Amino acid sequence: MRSFEYDLRHGIKNLGHVLRTLRLHLSPGAAEVQRRLLEERSLPKDRGWGSGPWLVVDLHTTRSDGQQGRRSFALITYFARVGYEVVIVANRGFVGNIDRKLKGLLLEQPMIVIPRLETFGGSDAVLLTDRPRSSLPHGFQRQIVLKTSGRFEPSTGELAFPFTLHPSALHHNLDQQLDRLRDLQKHWRLFFSGACSAGFYETHWIGREFKMVPRSRVLEIIRHELPPEQTVTPSSSTEVEGLLSQDVMGFVWVPDSIDAIPSSKWLEVLARAVVFPAAPGVSYPMCHNIIEAMAVGTVPLTEYPEHFDPPLRHGENCFVYTGESGLRSRVREIMRMEADELGELSSAAAEYYDRHISPGAFVRRLEADPRQMVVLHIKGYERPPTDA
């Protein structure tokens, strides 16, 4: 059984979504956003609806948003990437905060906004909703029902929306430059950059609920496992730039205390590494950086392969460790391996991204499902262990 505290925490989160949605319904600011969307994003008078494919988003709450709206943005963007035109129903509980933070990036994409689902007049449409309908309206082929609570169990027939590249990477179309990034020469055996302070990452969620080594400790172990001269710590963007073409048979570590790598350059820097220590996050293991590593062909070193659907496999598309002693052993193994062996793992990691995480792979999987109603678990990556 999961701990009572863990379930209570998620119960409080769900209550927070209810209260946030209620505030949006009562907020004059949210009403103004709704009004402006309907005025500025309605179907142009000089075009008809026609055939799709269309994605019609009929969500009524903020439950699917994720932190700063990143999950809603990613999910809608995935459909847009493969050619779907996006229509959003102006339910205030969803669109009332569409101009904020990462969710606001949706406003920089083409979309049509309609007042009610019934006003949609196209065909060949997919309905994305949090309120399943017993029968589909005219023009719709299927409905995708979002599920945001409970534990994802692949055996139930539910699908999981994959964790994605960070929204800023999707927003800057970096996912469409992966062939170029994968062709960059890899000079560094191990590389990490990102937040890693012990006070923030050494949480009891990671240690107790997920039974994993926290991020700050992972980085400490890697540095201690290698001779001091094999850890390179650049202190500025200029030093990072200078390292891009230098071979480092060790660990390049860019501390979070310096602002050395702009988000627009992050994937290009990450692509220079052979292996990325994908240490866990704060309240659950999965982080954007493990997805970004695989996307550019950098092999993840991870303690949570089973949080992927399907699970990652050690020695095939990743390195897996368990506990501190396991991490030490893997670091030594990585340092001993030949370049051709690592190259095969690099290719396999990139192939996993293409087959299971990329927008095209995800949408093709949905399109191949014959069911008219598909339940899509938006938090399928969050899988705390249960006691036997």
Give the pair of three-digit tokens for residue 69.
């709206």
pLDDT band at 1 (very low <50, low <70, confident <90, very high): very low
Specify which residues 277 forms β-bridges with.
301
Place of tokens 């095209």: 360
Q: How many residues does the chain have?
A: 388
CATH architecture classification, 184-357: 3-Layer(aba) Sandwich (3.40)
Residue 141 backbone class (left: φ over 0; alpha: ψ -120 to 50; beta: rest): alpha
Alpha helix (H) residue ranges in the chain: 4-26, 28-40, 70-81, 92-95, 167-171, 178-182, 198-201, 204, 215-225, 237-243, 266-270, 288-295, 323-336, 339-352, 359-368
Q: Are 69 and 97 in contact (CB under 8 A)?
A: yes
Domain ranges of the chain: 4-169+363-377, 184-357
Residue 388 pLDDT: 40
pLDDT tens figures, 135-169? 999 999 999 999 988 778 878 899 999 999 999 99
Instruction: For residues 243 and 252, give the distance between their C-alpha atoms in angstroms, rounded to a whole number.
Output: 9
CB atoms near residue 231 (< 10 Å): 18
pLDDT tens figures, 185-218? 999 999 999 888 767 766 667 888 889 999 999 9
Of 42, 53, 38, the residue nearest 127 (C-alpha):
53
Q: Among 30-34, 214-218, 224-228, 281-285, which stretch is predicted with the lowest mean pLDDT?
A: 281-285
CB atoms near residue 336 (< 10 Å): 8
Residue 5 backbone class (left: φ over 0; alpha: ψ -120 to 50; beta: rest): alpha
The model's pTM is: 0.93
Q: Are 130 and 143 in contact (CB under 8 A)?
A: no
Q: Are 316 and 294 in contact (CB under 8 A)?
A: no
Place of tokens 């949408």: 363
Place of tokens 């249960």: 386
Residue 44 pLDDT: 93
Q: Are 296 and 270 in contact (CB under 8 A)?
A: yes
